[in-house]
Chains A and B, each alone.
Chain A
């Protein structure tokens, strides 16, 4: 993992003290509310429906046990004893008090963590593949590059006041697990024919109210040019992105308005112009800098990697089932990647109790080489579990209700906090998530349905990534009532696709039945071992529409939704 220098630690404490000063001035009436809003947002602090919400950055989703234990401590001491892991690999606290936040930031600084730029119109936390460095389909470990991007973007003087928020995602694997084409800038690290590392840069992807798939703007960027090229994109966006309408302010709108060719031309002009500049502002990455970043991510594994290569045979069906569904093969034969499901029946997706978090920190320290990851699907991953420890780890996770064998299945759904917490939301998500997980609790049925991604957002800001869900659910407000728009066939992987709308929205009381109906249609339509997504792509949405609305049309809910 990346290790902070003393200077960097000092920087985090200075930043926390700076925020303390801003809070003090605000409380004393010396800082007006509009300006303070902007300053608190750059420290991850929102005002929500009931209280403030603090979003803490987890760079590229990676934590050590001390950091996880600190997050648990903060949840207990300053919040209501739990935290919520987000689709951007961060953690949110829903109940901190404004005057406690500077102290929380100082506590985070003790373990090299912060909340800098987790909100506001600036470059946000860099997200990545949760299997970075441990998957066998990887060209290059993305984490050193993410770390370089994190350092570059932290308090970047030119890009702290962009037209709108700006999200990066990076993957170095053949299979995209970071949804790079749904980000403002997505980076795929590849190797060219000379086995040299190159970057493919995608720009202008995103979800929100205008979902767009990112467009390829550079397909062969050399490593030394990474920051200078990104700087050129950011400069073009900073100068020309719309600032008159927040709904038209993301880079995707600018890219679409100009067209990718014209946009690319402007970027190339800005890039060439920056080459005339002083070296400090045309950051060319040297091999020394790159190798320094890489040195933090070369795992020094304890013991003999090959000594305990065999799995202890266990005649325990529950364990074997978990092994099948919640484990991924590791690039090293003696290790296994263990997925920690935060989707136990009845739990809000992504929520984790502080005491369980603390226990999990111990497991991380003792059984996963002191590393744990947050996934963009709101689960956790223990990336370095020895085969010989698997049964012990399963047993410990099971006791903590973290071994629900549903990874990638229907109940492993994504949901934003929704109307229960978020002031933007139109509709609730958490009660529905619970209803769906209760209805779909039969594991035989879950496995029969197979791999499927259900993603739910409480409003069109799409924090729950519904556009990219195989089944997407979007909460809408109709005259003060909660209704839900269904989409089918979205995907955030290599075949990035935006889900297609099924038809009129569905009342809250009818939603779980509607999902059952969609599943029934799939099971009827599927050929051989086709996945849900494959079936939807082959048949299109019509059979699903016909079946869903044939029943639904008879119901008063449907007539009401069409009338509305």
Chain B
């Protein structure tokens, strides 16, 4: 799948694995149960599944971090993952629509308050919000199907002046 990362179009191997407990998974994909055996395939799982996998793997003395990232629904608190941030390579934030604003605060908390260094990916980003999202610390963007990736790159620089206090 093609996404934008750090203002470049790249191929991303990360697959979203929606949790069957999600009331609103964000994207229509079949529910899957995570498996410890399948750990070489890069995937984004729910906070709950990520913690379960982590516990399962811990006994075997190996990390699972490189291939398993997390996705956050808009109402997911980040409190249960903040102490593991160093071992999460990608955190995806689900934006169900253009009006969904909670993900901006999730990104700010991860990036500015907890100094998360990995990729923060907006799933369901819209071209007109790329710049706002980037300013909140989101650096990767999986756009909604309607939006054109090449054209999207020009939207980062539409407005290059912002006020210093925000």
Residues on A close to B: CB < 8 A?
7-8, 10-11, 14-15, 17-18, 21-22, 32, 34-35, 38-39, 121, 148, 151-163, 227, 235, 238-239, 243, 273-274, 276-278, 280-283, 285, 289
- Nearest CB on B from A271, distance (A): 11
CA A11 to CA B115, docked complex, whole Å: 30
Residue in chain A with minimal CB distance to B109: A273
A35, B128: Cβ atoms under 8 Å? yes
B161: CB under 8 A from chain A? yes
- Nearest CB on A from B61, distance (A): 33
CA A32 to CA B97, docked complex, whole Å: 12
B160, A280: Cβ atoms under 8 Å? no
Produce 1/0 per residue, B143-166, CB < 8 A to A.
000100000000000111111111
Query: Which chain B residues border A151 with CB–CB below 8 Å?
Result: 163-166
A161, B112: Cβ atoms under 8 Å? no
A14, B146: Cβ atoms under 8 Å? no
Given the interface contacts A18-B158, A32-B146, does A239 sit within 8 Å of B112 by beta carbon? Answer: no
Given the interface contacts A161-B101, A162-B101, A283-B165, does A155 sit within 8 Å of B113 by beta carbon? Answer: no
Residue in chain A with minimal CB distance to B165: A152
Say which one of B4-12, B46-54, B117-125, B129-137 lies at the interface with A: B129-137
- Nearest CB on B from A289, distance (A): 8
Query: Which chain B residues border A38 with CB–CB below 8 Å?
Result: 98-99
A21, B158: Cβ atoms under 8 Å? yes
Query: Which chain A residues border B131 with CB–CB below 8 Å?
Result: 157
B113, A160: Cβ atoms under 8 Å? no
B105: CB under 8 A from chain A? yes
Residue in chain A with minimal CB distance to B113: A277
Residue in chain A with minimal CB distance to B161: A11
A selection of 15 A-B contacts at a CB cut-off of 8 Å is A8-B161, A10-B161, A38-B98, A38-B99, A151-B163, A153-B166, A155-B163, A158-B108, A235-B108, A238-B101, A239-B105, A277-B112, A278-B115, A281-B108, A283-B165
B165's partner among A162, A227, A273, A274 (CB-CB below 8 A) is A227
Query: 8 closest pairs, A vs B, by CB?
Result: A161-B101, A157-B135, A11-B161, A281-B112, A151-B163, A152-B165, A277-B112, A156-B166
B102: CB under 8 A from chain A? yes
B165, A148: Cβ atoms under 8 Å? yes
Query: Which chain A residues border B73 with CB–CB below 8 Å?
Result: none
Query: Which chain A residues border B105 with CB–CB below 8 Å?
Result: 158, 235, 238-239
B102, A238: Cβ atoms under 8 Å? yes
B126: CB under 8 A from chain A? yes
Residue in chain B with minimal CB distance to A160: B132
Residue in chain B with minimal CB distance to A10: B161
Produce 1/0 per residue, B15-59, CB < 8 A to A.
000000000000000000000000000000000000000000000
- Nearest CB on A from B96, distance (A): 10
- Could you say which interface size class chain B belongs to? 20 to 34
Query: Which chain B residues border A159 with CB–CB below 8 Å?
Result: 101, 104
Query: Which chain A residues border B160 with CB–CB below 8 Å?
Result: 14
Residue in chain A with minimal CB distance to B95: A161
CA A277 to CA B162, docked complex, whole Å: 20
A154, B146: Cβ atoms under 8 Å? no
Residue in chain B with minimal CB distance to A274: B113
Residue in chain B with minimal CB distance to A227: B165
Residue in chain A with minimal CB distance to B128: A39
Given the interface contacts A11-B159, A238-B104, does A157 sit within 8 Å of B133 by beta carbon? Answer: yes
Query: Which chain A residues border B104 with CB–CB below 8 Å?
Result: 157-161, 238
CA A406 to CA B19, docked complex, whole Å: 65
A35, B166: Cβ atoms under 8 Å? no
Residue in chain B with minimal CB distance to A161: B101
Query: Which chain A residues border B133 with CB–CB below 8 Å?
Result: 157
CA A274 to CA B112, docked complex, whole Å: 8
B126, A35: Cβ atoms under 8 Å? yes
CA A121 to CA B136, docked complex, whole Å: 18
Q: A151-B163, A152-B165, A281-B113 are in contact. List 5 more A-B contacts (CB 8 A).
A: A14-B158, A14-B160, A154-B166, A158-B166, A273-B109
Given the interface contacts A35-B98, A161-B101, A274-B113, does A155 sit within 8 Å of B162 by beta carbon? Answer: yes
B100: CB under 8 A from chain A? yes
CA A151 to CA B163, docked complex, whole Å: 6
